[in-house]
Amino acid sequence: MITVKDLKFGYAGGGFRLSVPEFKLDSRERLAIVGPSGSGKTTLLNLVAGILTPKSGDIDVDGTKVSDLSDAERRRFRATHMGFVFQDFALLDYLPARQNILYPYRITPALKLDSAARDRAQALADACGIGDKMDRHPSALSQGEQQRVAICRALVTQPKLILSDEATGNLDPDSKARILDLLFEQAAEAGAAVLAVTHDHELLPRFERVLDFAQFREGAAA
């Protein structure tokens, strides 16, 4: 699914540098990235997603060289091939759960909002146990329910890759395991690989593989 080779990245004017000689993620694989703060875990997610561009090296996602794409192409590729789950959920307070799930369709012409997408959103919500709360705004949902909405949003476009950035960081211990299991379950059902950044070592046994990122850091914290 992902192949990274001889990747080098540095922020302009900053001392932080990231160097990844080689990194692979197979299809449907569940990989956890751990490491100290500032080691470049989130930076790698942003490079894979095409939000940041490397100084050198190759990033191949699902057969497409993301590092060679233009900005517009990277945006389109990201919208159609990847789903994001964030630590702070990043839901929009002014949209009900249903519209938050369908939000990716509202912001890019690369995705077409049709009845199939709406049905998928409802099915995902039902599977995540929030099917009866689709008309509620985030302020009327618990933290666990909000993260379930965020997971549905990441999966509704049927991506082949889920990028998870501390997705369980804001949840209580009981919810963490449940939400992660739910994410894996839904990703497996959709045939998507999961690349997750986490600080929570208790959750690592649930992943198929764990990568310690401290080895790739070359400079000061980012």
The residues binding another protein (CB under 8 A) are 49, 51, 71-72, 75-80, 82, 84, 86, 88, 90, 92-95, 99, 103-110, 113, 137
CB 189 within 8 A of CB 126: no
Q: What is the DSSP letter of 217?
A: B
CB of 96 to another protein, least distance (A): 9
Residue among 11 and 103 whose Cβ is closer to another protein? 103
Cα 81 to its chain centre, rounded Å, is 11
Residue among 99 and 170 whose Cβ is closer to another protein? 99
CB of 184 to another protein, least distance (A): 21
CB of 79 to another protein, least distance (A): 3
Q: How far apart are CA 150 and CA 74, in angstroms?
A: 22
Residue among 78 and 217 whose Cβ is closer to another protein? 78
Residue among 90 and 127 whose Cβ is closer to another protein? 90
Cα 221 to its chain centre, rounded Å, is 22
CB of 189 to another protein, least distance (A): 21
CB of 61 to another protein, least distance (A): 13
Name residue 82's beta-bridge partners: 161
Residue among 6 and 73 whose Cβ is closer to another protein? 73
CB of 137 to another protein, least distance (A): 7
Question: Which two structure tokens, joined as six digits, stand for 118?
Answer: 């709406």
Q: How far apart are CA 135 and CA 137, in angstroms?
A: 7
Contacts of 174 (CB under 8 A, 6+ apart): none
**Cα–Cα–Cα angle for 147, 4, 201, nearest 5°?**
40
Q: How far apart are CA 198 and CA 17, in angstroms?
A: 20
Residue among 154 and 211 whose Cβ is closer to another protein? 154
